[in-house]
């Protein structure tokens, strides 16, 4: 028979029976107090509990730790998905957004470039961005304004793409830098954007510290208005002091910006021979370097949904719809690169031999799976409008979200 001390200890236990239904646990009743039998043989406490609680509670003892672990972890953090809509392909891009109303959390309007004086202006003044930003918010997503260092000359003519000189001039002069920040904040606030995305590419390495200072100051200005800041940067797998990727100090930028968005493409480009624009192995290498510079939660990968065609005198970008048309027109066999399952084909015409690598739903889903295996569930896509029609439905299915109007 158990002694008084042991019996008192058992009586003080509050034991509850748990049942499983649909499939939630709930408390049904308290067990009656223990009354030991006379002349009962002393039992080890573990054997006593097993005998007392019975088969049903023993089952709950098996399941309960799993239940408690799930509660503690809170489940996997939901993915945060975003995409750009460009001003030159606006109608198709915004139609893609509206076709998946609950899929995307962040909509980036690639809308503002710079005038000849460096002031941010809308490239297409016919788009009512204040109304579009409001519609995005109504859909429980965040509208972002992307400002890029493309420059529209005052005399007219073609836009100068990714001009480093105008940024150098703006950042080098404290008064002009202050004015530039003020113009960005005013443009975003006036049109109801929740965030600003700075996409200044091909900057000079000598402007590295000035660019970090500008982002630090801009972040403080935007914070006063309750506006978020993202910085989009070119990829690099190690520290560099070269122009372009080397002009961005990732560690410094991460201390200021809410998000550091890394372009995970251009592994192969016009400067190289044909090949995938990104592979999982290359992506992992870049993200590993990013983790050495930034908190993981501030790093956001960018995947490109289009591709590139090599041949003739130069390489050029191709969207999915054009790649599909070229393959059909030339009856080209679609092959798959083993590095990332990327589709490609080769054809010959009067201009010579051409090789086309592009992204489809299958190759993009493989990259998304790779990102998740690396610990990244947030991703932004460049850009919507002419992607594989199967991509957004596949993405919605994987994310457990809805598409359709």
Sequence ranges of the domains in the chain: 4-73, 81-305+371-399
- pLDDT at position 73, please? 36
Six token digits for residue 291: 């983790």
Residue 80, φ and ψ in degrees, nearest 5: -110, 115
**What is the model's pLDDT at position 156?**
83
How many Å apart are CA 373 and CA 92, to the nearest integer?
32
d(CA 339, CA 337): 5
Which structure tokens are listed for 304? 């490109």
Backbone angles phi, psi at 255, to 5 degrees: -75, -20
- Tokens describing residue 243: 């122009």
The angle subtended at Cα 279 by Cα 328 and Cα 261, nearest 5°, is: 110
Using CB atoms within 10 Å of the CB of residue 179, give its burial: 0 to 12 exposed, 13 to 18 middle, 19+ buried. Answer: middle
Q: Residue 156: left (phi > 0), alpha (psi -120 to 50), or beta?
A: left
- For residue 383, whether the previous peptide bond is cis, meaning omega lies within 30 degrees of 0, is yes
Whole-model pTM: value is 0.81
Cα–chain-centroid distance for residue 203?
A: 24
E-only strand ranges, 51-114? 81-86, 106-114
Of the chain, the end-to-end C-alpha distance in Å amounts to 72
Tokens standing for 190? Answer: 């006036």
Decide the pairing of beta strands 335-337 and 342-349: antiparallel
What's the CATH superfamily of 81-305+371-399? Glycosidases (3.20.20.80)
CB 251 within 8 A of CB 222: no
Residue 99 · residue 401 · CB < 8 Å = no
DSSP code for 160: B
Residue environment code for 104-113, b if the CB has 16+ CB neighbours within 10 A, otherwise e: bbbbbbbbbb
Instruction: Name the helix (H) or strand (E) containing 208.
Output: helix 208-224
Q: What ranges in 100-173 are assigned the alpha helix state H?
A: 129-138, 164-172
386 closest CA partner among 126, 95, 76:
95
In this predicted structure, what is the pLDDT of residue 101? 87
Q: Are 97 and 138 in contact (CB under 8 A)?
A: no
Beta bridge mates, 86? 110
What is d(CA 40, CA 38) in angstroms, rounded to the nearest whole number?
A: 5
| Torsional sign, CA 267, 273, 275, 280 | negative
**Which residues share a beta bridge with 316?**
309
Helix-strand-coil split of the chain, %, nearest 5 = 40, 25, 35
> What pLDDT shows up at residue 3?
55
Residue 327, both tokens: 């393959």
Helix-helix angle 280-293:361-373, to 10 degrees: 40
Q: How many residues does the chain have?
A: 405
**For the chain, which ranges sit under pLDDT 70?**
1-77, 402-405
**pLDDT recorded at residue 270:** 87
375 within 8 A of 296, measured Cβ to Cβ: yes
Q: Are 284 and 364 in contact (CB under 8 A)?
A: no
């Amino acid at each position: 028979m158990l002694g008084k001390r042991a019996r008192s200890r058992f009586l003080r236990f509050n034991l509850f029976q748990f049942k499983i239904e649909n499939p939630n646990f709930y408390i049904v009743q308290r067990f009656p107090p223990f009354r030991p039998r006379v002349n009962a043989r002393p039992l080890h406490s573990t054997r006593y509990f097993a005998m007392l609680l019975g088969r049903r509670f023993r089952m709950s003892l098996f399941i309960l730790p799993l239940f408690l672990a799930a509660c503690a972890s809170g489940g996997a953090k939901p993915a945060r998905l975003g995409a750009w809509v460009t001003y030159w392909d606006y109608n198709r891009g915004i139609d893609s957004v509206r076709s998946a109303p609950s899929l995307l959390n962040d909509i980036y309007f690639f809308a503002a470039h710079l005038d000849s004086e460096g002031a941010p202006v809308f490239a297409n003044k016919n788009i009512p961005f204040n109304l579009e930003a409001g519609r995005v918010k109504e859909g429980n997503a965040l509208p972002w304004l992307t400002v890029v260092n493309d420059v529209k000359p005052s005399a007219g003519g073609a836009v100068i793409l990714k001009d480093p000189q105008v940024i150098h001039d703006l950042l080098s002069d404290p008064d002009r830098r202050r004015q530039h920040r003020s113009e960005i904040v005013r443009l975003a606030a006036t049109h109801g954007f929740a965030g600003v995305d700075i996409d200044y590419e091909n900057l000079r390495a000598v402007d590295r510290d000035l660019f970090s200072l500008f982002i630090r100051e801009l972040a403080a200005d935007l914070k006063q208005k309750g506006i978020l800041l993202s910085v989009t940067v070119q990829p690099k797998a190690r520290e560099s002091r070269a122009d372009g990727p080397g002009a961005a100090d990732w560690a410094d930028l991460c201390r200021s910006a809410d998000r550091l968005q890394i372009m995970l493409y251009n592994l192969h480009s016009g400067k190289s021979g044909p090949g995938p624009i990104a592979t999982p192995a290359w992506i992992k290498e870049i993200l590993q370097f990013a983790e050495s510079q930034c908190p993981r939660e501030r790093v956001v990968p960018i995947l490109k949904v289009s591709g590139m065609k090599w041949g003739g005198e130069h390489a050029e970008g191709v969207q999915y719809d054009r790649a599909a048309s070229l393959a059909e027109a030339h009856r080209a066999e679609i092959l798959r690169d083993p590095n990332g399952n990327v589709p490609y084909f080769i054809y010959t015409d009067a201009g010579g031999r051409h090789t086309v690598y592009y992204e489809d739903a299958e190759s993009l889903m493989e990259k998304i799976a790779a990102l998740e295996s690396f610990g990244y569930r947030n991703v932004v896509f460049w850009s919507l409008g002419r992607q594989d029609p199967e991509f957004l439905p596949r993405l919605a299915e994987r994310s457990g979200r809805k598409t359709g109007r």
